[in-house]
Structure 1
Amino acid sequence: MQGLGVQQYRQASNLRSVSAALCKLATLAWLIAVLIAVGWLLPAAAGHAADVPATSPTWRAEKEVFYLIFVRSFADSNGDHIGDFQGIERKLPYLQALGVTSILLTPIVPSPMYHNYFASRFDDVDRGYGDLASFRHLVKALHSRGMKIYLDEEIQYAAENHPWWAESAGHPESKYSDYILYGGAGNTSPEGWAGETYTGKSERVAMVNLQAPAVRHYFDNLFVWWVDQHGNGRFDEGVDGFRIDHMMDDLDGKGKLTNLVAGFWAPLLSHVRTVNPRISAVAEQADWKTFGDDLLKRGDVDIVYAFPLRTAIASLDRDAIAKAIKSTQDKTPAGKGQLIFIENHDTDRFASVVDGDPRKERLGAALTILLKGTPLIYYGQEIGMKGKQLHGRSDGNDIPVREAFRWTHSVDGPGSATWYRDTGPWWTDRYGRDDDGISVEEEQRDPASLLAFYRRLLALRHSRRDLREGDQEIVATNQLALLVLRRTYGKHESLLVVNFSPSQVTGRLPGNVLRVSQDGRALRDLLTNTKSASMENGRVQVSIAPFGVQLLTVQ
């Protein structure tokens, strides 16, 4: 830590933590007694049962809307064309107006790689983004708005210039001797690999020995420090949670570091929650073909990525999506969650996957935000930014899906973080072009824009409990092109109808499609605020455009 090592931090905060905990316990005991006395902790009256869902306990952050920011590319505040903390802070009004409640930052630690995933040290920030003071200022600004911040952590690896590696390589007598996993005698042949950066430089990465007691103790203290920067239990400048990158039981399948889920990650996260029980943990399962249920059960994490569902949505195959929705629900333990997403920093942009078809972009947006789960929006997704990964050894091949956020009609407009200018094909063949219609400036005042559609979807999600935290059921229908889902929370109910066909679909849905069935009652499409369907003989009559989406509710 800046000016304060983890050991000193731990010692300095112990007495304050114990004292604060005792005060909190005394206050809590008094408060509980008062609440019981006035009857506020008695069971709810039976008359309110209609507003209580019949489902399992809700995950603590299910009401959140995550926004994933690739820090280097998001917003530049000082004209150096590198995204930074102050740039993010200046854009908080935009994010809050969009409907975002929590931001997730890609790694912010110093690193020889532009993406910051392999650290030179774990207890500082990349000075291109700002210093620790500016980071804390960003955190406080978020908290003042009622928003949250999550940090992406990949502590399983270290860059070659990390002190643990630099000082222990070839020196078994070093105090960091067992911090790096070596395969040869005398601290030689570190387990890892070499890669090429977008500037053409070769960089090596090594596995951190997560089973070494000193390493485990270090990360226990490090995570607590990110949560409680001053050791005073206030958390106003601390993060609200973590994303664990590349989480797996046997790191890279080498048999060198095993039982990490229950043996390393669960104890670490449990330790952090002794300091702040409200901390949430997001895990990116290393195997994208899985539903992450093992990590949810054994890793003490709250939420994982709905990778199989994302793959199905990208295919636009109705049956594959329906199957993935059901399997995702079945595989998610009670009280845990799934991040619903269609793109991130490691995938092609959805707008490019669907060849820029605005109907399909809206379809993807609706599924991201209206399905049961927690939405994750990747920066620029809401304005339709495009990009596909290139192939090869260079980490520059991912830059096309990590281009500068488009704030203005010009690629070089104010705030644009074009740090990759003139460095390779990812610049000369870039997707973002001046006046291409894909920018906040160009979409801001257009009610028919993709940005306006995302704002509408998120406003609906925030205003309706059935969409935020309700049950979800796939409704069987003989309309082969339609996916129909019922979202319910007590007396609140809506019907999501999606047409995966390039043709208009007109027809009737089953009689049990809505719990409230009244002949002649019109159904309003909440997305357009128009009467788009009706009830006839107990059945819903719909007409939906090619690749169209409707969100119906009884008037």
Structure 2
Amino acid sequence: MSRNRLLKSLALSTALALGAGFLPGVHAATTVPPATDTLSSGVYYEIFVRAWYDTNGDGIGDLNGVTAKLDYLKSLGISGIWLMPINNSPSYHGYDITDYYGINPQYGSVADLQHLVDEAHKRGIAVTMDMVINHSSNEHPWFVAAQKANDLHRNWYTWATKRPNLDALSATDTPIWHAGDDGWYIGVFGGHMPDFNYDNPAVRAEMIKVGQYWLGKGVDGFRLDAAKHIYVDFKSDEHSLEAVQKNAAWWTEYHDALAKVNPKVTLVGEVSAKSPKELAPYLKPLGSIFDFPLAEQLILSAKSENATKLESLLKATYDAYKLAGDAPFIDSTFLSNHDQERVMSRLDGNVEHMRVAAAMLLTLPGRPYIYYGEELGMEGKKPDPNLREPMRWTREAGPGESRWKPSSVNQGQVVSVQAEEDDPNSLLHTYRTLIGWRAHNSALRDGKLEAVVTGNPHLFAYWRNDGKQRLLVVHNLSGKSVMWKPKGDLLPKEATVLLTTQTQASLKDGHLNMPAYSTVVLR
């Protein structure tokens, strides 16, 4: 991206963040923040390094490629990145690790990671690693040694020397027992991923050591893969209070040990769940968890243009979280990740529904995560490799673009950073606008939520209040304009439109005019 184009893009996003609305063609060059500006949006970005950017010409994205594109992330307004697994692994995805202290040589070296961390920190961007410690690879030297009954690593995994029930299912509905050289072992995610035995103090100590090692390299924290499966192994464990309590006890021990190295360590747990009640027990030990129920409902509400179920889910979520205790926590919100069908595919390519989903995500409480390419509208359906395809930087594939797999969707040149930078109406600019709002308005970033009953299923409204700023956010999920008259004294007479995704939105005589698929923020 040229410097001039970057400055224009920053100018537009800054003007929007300060309340100018979405004004194609308007360039407010005088409002461009300095390059050293570190205003935080609190928004994180998930990166599959293999698919991101290639700097050595082998067609595979690498850590230096992440460093090379930090300015793109900075221009987007990102405050932190989550790197999918970068440790040594025999698989393309990296979720079966063979060396917890090494870096996959296809991605680079420990020195490359440290360089990335240093450059990211200069830009006010935090770096979190994927920490995959529920299981190892079956090729890890620990497991290879554990195949021998008398080896010290034998008890690092869970074995049955007598033939177990091979029809028994894991919590992921797959066979849980797998044949080894001497007995059968537990592998919730398959035989190539044997589960560690966390009842063994040596395992717990080693995994703490691994986390402390990477914190010592400057990493800011970890996304904790399969966080609930440390003890939830069998299908019968799914609703076991004892298993959940043992999970919570381990993660409390883990967090406390890591906090000795970095008191501000960022942890976020992958706790796949269908209800907020299942998430709540992990809030206190981890400090943050991915909100899977909310992610699902945001997409369903955007697609159906109906906010009714979303309103009730948010109430249930915060009620459940209150019961988890008074410890501070962050709700890690998102729309999709590397295991799920991409949002644009789920929305059948409807870009207006995509804008609405993004607007809701980026104005709700928590720490939002964006899956790479989501801001471009990249599509992708199962199987998993198709969800993790190369990031699209230029209209025509050129130097630097990952070639790790061909596209399964063929969306064309318009879905690329280059094309969308040049289009002021692009989804990329929508994301920049919304992230800019969050960065420049503390209530949108840090404020508590108070739901508002609108009486219209197509409208979704809530107050955000952080004690310094109180804002009313209103979304029109439908394809038709809506005139809304808030009841009673909901809005003070001096209320005004602060931010809007569409300039046609207006507030007059207590009536709010909402164009189709618009978001308005009132103060």
| TM-score, shorter chain, exceeding 0.5 | yes
How do 1:32-431 residues align onto structure 2 when only pairs under 5 Å count? 64-169=42-147, 171-184=148-161, 187-192=182-187, 204-229=192-217, 238-248=218-228, 250-253=231-234, 258=243, 259-290=245-276, 292-297=279-284, 300-316=285-301, 317-333=306-322, 334=326, 335-389=328-382, 397-410=383-396, 412-421=397-406, 427=407, 430-431=408-409
Alignment CA distance shift 1:552-1:276 (3 Å): closer
Distance between the aligned counterparts of 1:189 and 1:493, measured in 2?
Answer: 59
Give CA deviations for 1:73-105 in whole Å, capped at 9, x if unaligned. Answer: 111111111111000000000001101010001
Give CA deviations for 1:164-218 in whole Å, capped at 9, x if unaligned. Answer: 111221x1222322112212268421212686xxxxxxx7221111221221121
Secondary structure of 1:542's counterpart equals strand
Distance between the aligned counterparts of 1:193 and 1:216, measured in 2?
Answer: 19
Q: Which amino acid aligns with 2:505?
A: S
Higher strand share: 1
Distance between the aligned counterparts of 1:379 and 1:217, measured in 2?
Answer: 34
- The answer as to whether partners of 2:89 and 2:98 remain within 8 angstroms in 1 is yes
Secondary structure of 2:521's counterpart equals strand
- The answer as to whether partners of 1:517 and 1:535 remain within 8 angstroms in 2 is no
Match of 1:45 in 2: none
Q: CA deviation at 1:270?
A: 0.7
- The answer as to whether partners of 2:484 and 2:514 remain within 8 angstroms in 1 is no
1:532 aligns with 2:521: no
Alignment CA distance shift 1:263-1:469 (3 Å): closer
Distance between the aligned counterparts of 2:420 and 2:112, measured in 1?
Answer: 30
Q: CA deviation at 1:255?
A: 7.4
Q: CA deviation at 1:146?
A: 2.0
Distance between the aligned counterparts of 2:344 and 2:133, measured in 1?
Answer: 32
Distance between the aligned counterparts of 2:307 and 2:522, measured in 1?
Answer: 22
Structure 2: any 5+ residue segments left out of the alignment?
A: 1-39, 163-180
Q: Which amino acid aligns with 1:466?
A: A
Secondary structure of 1:158's counterpart equals coil
Distance between the aligned counterparts of 1:255 and 1:122, measured in 2?
Answer: 30
Q: CA deviation at 1:283?
A: 0.7
Distance between the aligned counterparts of 1:526 and 1:532, measured in 2?
Answer: 7
Q: Which amino acid aligns with 1:481?
A: H
- The answer as to whether partners of 1:281 and 1:301 remain within 8 angstroms in 2 is yes
Q: Percent identity?
A: 31
Distance between the aligned counterparts of 1:513 and 1:81, measured in 2?
Answer: 56
1:545 aligns with 2:515: yes
Distance between the aligned counterparts of 2:378 and 2:60, measured in 1?
Answer: 19
Q: Which amino acid aligns with 2:114?
A: R
Q: Which amino acid aligns with 2:321?
A: T
Distance between the aligned counterparts of 2:330 and 2:281, measured in 1?
Answer: 13
Secondary structure of 1:207's counterpart equals coil
Alignment CA distance shift 1:193-1:473 (3 Å): closer
Q: CA deviation at 1:268?
A: 1.6
Structure 1: any 5+ residue segments left out of the alignment?
A: 1-61, 196-202, 230-237, 390-396, 422-426
Alignment CA distance shift 1:225-1:194 (3 Å): closer
Secondary structure of 1:359's counterpart equals helix
Q: Which amino acid aligns with 1:533?
A: S
Distance between the aligned counterparts of 1:478 and 1:190, measured in 2?
Answer: 55
Distance between the aligned counterparts of 1:354 and 1:531, measured in 2?
Answer: 25
- The answer as to whether partners of 2:53 and 2:391 remain within 8 angstroms in 1 is yes
Match of 1:438 in 2: 415
Distance between the aligned counterparts of 1:363 and 1:214, measured in 2?
Answer: 48
Q: CA deviation at 1:491?
A: 5.0
Q: Which amino acid aligns with 2:497?
A: L
Secondary structure of 1:473's counterpart equals strand
1:510 aligns with 2:490: no
Match of 1:199 in 2: none
Give CA deviations for 1:374-433 in whole Å, capped at 9, x if unaligned. Answer: 1111100111111111xxxxxxx21111110010112x3232212124xxxxx5xx1144
Distance between the aligned counterparts of 2:522 and 2:505, measured in 1?
Answer: 10
- The answer as to whether partners of 1:523 and 1:531 remain within 8 angstroms in 2 is no
Distance between the aligned counterparts of 1:457 and 1:123, measured in 2?
Answer: 38
Secondary structure of 1:149's counterpart equals strand
Q: What count of residue pairs does the alignment treat as equivalent?
A: 452
Distance between the aligned counterparts of 2:425 and 2:189, measured in 1?
Answer: 47
Alignment CA distance shift 1:544-1:211 (3 Å): same
- The answer as to whether partners of 1:524 and 1:533 remain within 8 angstroms in 2 is no
Distance between the aligned counterparts of 2:354 and 2:201, measured in 1?
Answer: 48
Match of 1:18 in 2: none
Distance between the aligned counterparts of 2:321 and 2:189, measured in 1?
Answer: 37
Distance between the aligned counterparts of 1:295 and 1:187, measured in 2?
Answer: 36
Distance between the aligned counterparts of 2:248 and 2:376, measured in 1?
Answer: 40
Alignment CA distance shift 1:63-1:522 (3 Å): closer
Q: Which amino acid aligns with 1:162?
A: H
Distance between the aligned counterparts of 1:251 and 1:517, measured in 2?
Answer: 54
Distance between the aligned counterparts of 1:247 and 1:89, measured in 2?
Answer: 28
TM-score by length of 1: 0.77
- The answer as to whether partners of 2:248 and 2:281 remain within 8 angstroms in 1 is no
Distance between the aligned counterparts of 2:313 and 2:48, measured in 1?
Answer: 28
Secondary structure of 1:130's counterpart equals coil
Q: Which amino acid aligns with 1:313?
A: L
1:471 aligns with 2:448: yes
Match of 1:488 in 2: 465
Q: Which amino acid aligns with 1:542?
A: L
Distance between the aligned counterparts of 2:100 and 2:410, measured in 1?
Answer: 33
Alignment CA distance shift 1:193-1:156 (3 Å): closer
Give CA deviations for 1:127-164 in whole Å, capped at 9, x if unaligned. Answer: 11001111111111112222111111121112121101
Q: Which amino acid aligns with 1:190?
A: Y
Distance between the aligned counterparts of 2:86 and 2:385, measured in 1?
Answer: 17
- The answer as to whether partners of 1:332 and 1:338 remain within 8 angstroms in 2 is no
